[in-house]
Chains A and B, each alone.
Chain A
């Protein structure tokens, strides 16, 4: 019963928080509307969330801080490439990253992280869900780049979505 009414407690809490931030004030009325939205939306979008991902929020927060830092570094790196490097010196390549992650939620977070961090954009996932296609702007050593993504992001995400 409880499971059907609140299929995704984490998503519901996030929606309430987003609603309060949208209202830009903390009042009883905004809180009640926020709770209604937070309860109703997960029920109506249930077909898109067949499983409930188990998220370790502490490790998730640490991961968020790491990614925010990497985004700042990525911005400087890409800005330097755009301003300084000549086009013929660039070594763009496709990377095929084998994944240990299994759940769609974890793979989505990994793909979004890759798109936001240094010199890589994720393009597609294989139909079997075990490989990620990534385009690197400037990879001198594709294998080292794959190893970096796996050790820096994927190993941490394995802990977040344990």
Chain B
């Protein structure tokens, strides 16, 4: 009886997770431009993968009678890497806008406004003298 309930719960989690991953990928296809497309993979897929990982933890705990912690680590690394990957793509987009791409590539949001004050957005600035050696080119 418990085995049956466990199987149902685990399969529900896996199917729900897979659906979110599919919706995230569909967002990548159908949203209008690059900046909007970034929203699909950074969010819908976190819950997609999260659901599958919870299913995996439950499977090992209820079916195999083991505690498995690798899923926690995968979640941790995903939460660290997903925003950084999105940030890198957004920065490349900012550079391509300034380099004079066709204006319709900017999408419905247009080009980003400059920040108030004298300084520009950080990605347009040359590395500062006191940044660690490994992070700057000079």
Contacts and interface: CB of A to CB of B under 8 A. Distances in A.
A63 interface: no
A83 B115 contact: no
A127 interface: yes
Interface residues of A, number: 44
Contacts of B119: 126-128
A123 B46 contact: no
Interface size on B, as a range, is 35 or more
Contact of B32 (A90, A93, A129): A90
Contacts of A118: 43
A78 B122 contact: no
Nearest to A98: B116
B117 A119 contact: no
Nearest to B117: A128
Interface string B12-51: 0000000010011011001110011011101110111000
A13 to B, nearest CB: 14
Nearest to A83: B23
B62 interface: no
Majority secondary structure of chain B interface residues (helix, strand, loop or mixed) = helix
A43 interface: no
B132 A124 contact: no
Given A48-B135, A96-B116, A124-B91, A75 B125 contact: no
B121 A75 contact: no
Contact of B46 (A75, A82, A126): A75
A88 to B, nearest CB: 9
A2 interface: no
Contact of A92 (B80, B94, B109): B109
Interface stretch (A3-11, A18-26, A31-39, A145-153): A18-26
A82 B30 contact: yes
Interface in B44-88: 44, 46-48, 68-70, 72-73, 76, 79-80, 82-84, 86-87
Interface of B: 20, 23-24, 26-27, 30-32, 35-36, 38-40, 42-44, 46-48, 68-70, 72-73, 76, 79-80, 82-84, 86-87, 90-91, 93-94, 107-110, 112-113, 115-125, 132-135
